[in-house]
Amino acid sequence: MRAISNLKLYFSNQYKSFKRSRFLLLIMLPGIIYYIIFHYVPMYGLIIAFKDFNIYDGIINSPWTSNYGFKHFLELFNLPIFYRILKNTVLLSLYTILFSFPTPIILALCLNEAKNKLWKNTVQTVSYLPHFISTVVICGMITNFLSLNGLVNNIVSFFGLERIQFLLYPKYFRTIFVISEIWQQTGWNSILYMAALSQVNPELYEACRIDGANRFQQILYINIPSIIPTAIILLIFKIGGIMNVGFEKVLLLYNPNIYETADVIGTYVYRRGILGAEFSFSTAVGLFQSVIGFILVVITNKIAGKVSEVSLW
């Protein structure tokens, strides 16, 4: 009897809550529909990775593949190119993280020491600018700067070295990618560190000075510890995103000569899937990427939560 009345109470509460938020639910309906159509239906569409999709049969009626649906995955794991694109994706991300992670921190620490406000604002404004330039323009600049008559080759020949078509040699690609990434994002990525530094209690500096610390030591013992939580959060995001290397940029910069180092999972999916119309196989490749990426986010978040009590959820 009691259970039933509890149940009744529960449902009447739910009903009240529903009635109270009718208006809210109504206005968020377009948003919900958006998420279903453009996020959850594509996720459902991932099942074509286990099927032999063809346009006439559609997602539902296309036949399942052999090997319990895992044909495309087996095919992928048996391709030598798979190890190349996996390696390129991971390496490109890792190098980008490794070299572009410290630069915003250094910039923020330096900016924090600048005394002249106008100068400080100028540096900030200038350094954020590249962030707003589109990938196409950035890659256009890179391509043209690196061409035989480009800026970089002018510098190279100024030092008496031979002009090189940098974008035709696999060995230069990662360096080009990482340097341009640093150039474009360092300023913008320093914003959060600046915010963290502005939260530091000024009394700490006072105390530190009385203890005889010089300014470098103040940075070492006050500023750096104060930005570590921010740094950890950002690192989690970066590592979680390792599988999603900026593939649009790769797509704009690479050419068959440098597939050896430049071809990543995203570009491979684009070539096989969109250009080659092999929908099922390339979906399987994309799914592999998403799953690994998702696992990485979960793991890094767990680790960060244990280490520093900061985490995403």
Partner 1 sequence: MKKANLYSVMFDVFINIILAMVVVVTLYPFLHVVSVSLSDPYAVMQNKVNFYPVGFNLNAYKSVLSNPYIWISYKNTIVYTVVGTAVNLVLTTAMAYSLSKKYLFGRKFFSIFTTFTLFFNGGIIPNYIIISKLGLIDSMWALILPIAIGTWNLMVMRNYFEGLPSEIEESAAIDGCNPVQVLVKIVLPVSKPIFATMTLFYAVWHWNTYFSPLLYLNDKEKYPLQIFMQQILITGETSFANTVVGIEDTNLLISNTVKYATIMVAILPIIMVYPFLQKYFIKGVLIGSVKG
Of residues 8 and 215, the one with the C-beta less far from partner 1: 215
- Comparison of 94 and 114: residue with beta carbon closer to partner 1: 114
The 8 Å CB, 24+ separation contacts for 99-102 are: 99/178, 99/182, 100/178, 100/181, 100/182, 100/185, 100/186, 100/189, 101/231, 101/234, 101/235, 101/238
Residue 97 or 234 with smaller CB distance to partner 1: 234
Helix (H, G, I), strand (E, B) or coil at 78: coil
Q: In this complex, which beta carbon is closest to partner 1, that of residue 95 or of residue 113?
A: 113
CA distances from 230 to 224, 257, 261, 270 (A): 10, 40, 32, 35
Cβ proximity to partner 1, 10 vs 119, nearer residue = 119
Amino acid at 10: Y
Kindly state the tokens that stand for 72: 């495309």
- Give me the long-range contacts of 223-228 (CB less than 8 A, separation at least 24): 223/109, 223/112, 223/197, 224/109, 226/196, 226/197, 226/199, 226/200, 227/105, 227/108, 227/193, 227/196, 227/197, 228/308
Shortest Cβ distance from residue 170 to partner 1 (Å)?
19
Q: Which is nearer to partner 1, 261 or 283 (CB)?
A: 283
